[in-house]
Structure 1
Amino acid sequence: MSCGEPHETDCSEVLDHLYEFLDSEIPDVDRDKFKQHFQECSPCLEKYGLEEAVKRLVKRCCGHDDVPTDLRAKVLSRLDLIRSGESVPERDVAAAPQET
């Protein structure tokens, strides 16, 4: 997605790191660049607003459920693999054998 206008920080960079921005997982310098970009770019601001609303909804609806420790560890491990650029196993992290 791009609004077609030139920006100091490209739309693709902002959107590639949008979840890190939402989760406050990027350096302050980058946060400031992204905030500036959102002031200049309404399509990216709209995408940010949508993702922020979804995140709040999920937190409100699911934020009080206890997550099994092993599932949390598997999910965090998979996120680390994705962030490092390593190949991710095809098997779904959350899939567990069904008891019959």
Structure 2
Amino acid sequence: MSCGEPHETDCSEVLSEVWLFLDHECDERRKELLQTHLEECHPCLEEYGIEEHLKALLAKKCGGELAPEQLKERLRARIHEVTVEIEVEVEVRTTSE
């Protein structure tokens, strides 16, 4: 995904790392880059908002239990796959227009 505006950090890169940002699993420099991008880019901010609400819902429904590492890895892999599929779909639409 790309909003079409120039950013220091690409939209697709930000969205692929939004869970790391939400879980505070990235270093301070990366956190600042992602935060800056989200503040500048409305489409990504909207996507981030959806992710944030989903995470809150999952936390509420899972009772705060920690997920097994294997489940986390499978979820990260699937999220990455979907992100790549969306990027390809957007690129195909863009080039065919």
Q: Which runs of 5+ in 1 are unaligned?
A: 84-100
- Number of residues of Structure 1 aligned to a counterpart in Structure 2: 76
User: Following the alignment from structure 1 to structure 2, what is the Cα–Cα distance between the partners of residues 33 and 58?
Assistant: 26
TM-score, length basis structure 1: 0.65
1:75 aligned to 2:71? yes
For CA contacts below 8 A with separation 6 or more, give which structure has more relative contact order. 2
Instruction: Give the structure-2-normalised TM-score.
Output: 0.67
Runs of 4+ in 1 over 4 A off after TM superposition: 64-67
Provide the alpha-carbon RMSD of the alignment.
2.4
Measure, in 1, the Cα distance between the counterparts of 2:69 and 2:35. 32
Give the letter for the 2:34 counterpart. Answer: F
Q: Percent identity?
A: 45
Paired residue for 2:18? Answer: 18
Greater share of residues in helix: 2
Q: Which runs of 5+ in 2 are unaligned?
A: 78-97
